[in-house]
Amino acid sequence: MVPGKNTRFLTTKEVAQLLNVNEKMVYSLVNEKGLPATKVTGKWLFPQRLVEEWLEAHILNYKPSGAELTADNGLLLLAGSDDPLFQKTLSLFHAGQKETTAFFANLGSMGGLTSMRRGLCHIGVCHLLQDDNNEYNFGFAEQELESMPVFVNFSRRQQGILLQKGNPKEITSITDFARQDVRIVNRPLGTGTRLLLDYEIANSNISTQDIAGYQTEVSRHLDAGLEVLAGRADAAPAIRTVAGMLGLDFIPLRWERFDLLIRRERFFEPTIQRFISLLHEEEFRQLAGSLEGYDISLCGKMLFPDNFKNKAIHK
């Protein structure tokens, strides 16, 4: 069904108000759940009638279909954001837990939340910057899930821009992405890194339309680094640890919180508790210390939406 002549088009802000979500969530709804939209001169527009029909079609969503999914049947299912330290931690877990196999799906932060909502994983792995430009994950979980999960910090990590060694293009900030001699490689919609890049662009004097390579996406931070290392891109949004691994230059943008989200009814299952307890062990701490760009001062602590820094406690 296509919009007619009298169809009213809504802006992203108006759709966000209609659905009672933040504007960043609207982009995820387009990508993850088929919210009807069109892009005109770089801006998203939404046919009101089709948006209302889409909303009606989803009115009965979403009761978690995997509520019976337990972590104590020999499988630990994790889904969400890509991270080198997290991948190494899974290997560490396997080395000490021969009776349990952990599977990780690299779906991006929003993909991790979607998997949690559908009951398809035990732990979601997320780093979604909220509209307040300060907090992470809490608001997105509240909007996506029918009840708030338990939040356990995995790490803080430094996000920024990967550059070729020596920075031959003399890139100093996001605004240089709009230069004609600069090409980037991007991360997929629904990832926390893409969310941060779009936030930075929205608060600059450039447009995504001006950026060569903005539509070119790779699924992992390491893949972004390899594109820069090979010279196929001059820059890419990614975390500092990749710069250290590949010998690339790096412009820091911010430290972000990288969390594990766990359904409350599953939190005390032994397999999940064994995974969390690993974060307090010396072997993990040494592993984190061997990589650049991580801060594990909050690692393994439970976090709370209200003034979490004062309320965080060790498990």
Query: How many CA atoms within 13 Å lie on the side-chain side of 46?
Result: 25
With cut-offs at 50, 70 and 90, classify the pLDDT of residue 88: very high
d(CA 313, CA 36): 43
Mean pLDDT computed over 225-245: 98
Q: Angle of helix 270-278 relative to helix 84-96, nearest 10 degrees?
A: 120
Residue 62 in this model has a pLDDT that exceeds 60: no
**Domain 9-57 belongs to what architecture?**
Orthogonal Bundle (1.10)
* φ, ψ for residue 128, nearest 5 deg: -100, 115
CATH 1.10.1660.10 positions along the chain are 9-57
Stretch among 45-59, 87-101, 213-227 having the lowest mean pLDDT: 45-59
Q: Which residues contact 83 (CB under 8 A, 6 or more apart)?
A: 125, 154, 155, 157, 221, 239, 258
pLDDT of 71 reads: 60
Coil, strand or helix at 134: coil
Residue 97's pLDDT band (boundaries 50, 70, 90)? confident
Residue 64 pLDDT exceeds 50: no
The pLDDT tens digits for 117-161 are 999 999 999 999 988 888 999 999 998 898 999 999 999 999 999
Task: List the one residue out of 79, 63, 54, 275 whose CA is nearest residue 191.
Answer: 79
Answer whether residue 308 shows pLDDT above 50.
no
Residues of the chain with CATH 3.40.190.290: 65-315
Q: Which CATH number fits domain 65-315: 2.40.50.140, 3.40.630.10, 3.40.190.290, 1.20.1250.20?
A: 3.40.190.290
Alpha-carbon dihedral angle through residues 99, 104, 105, 110, given to the nearest 10 degrees:
120
Amino acid 23: pLDDT:
83
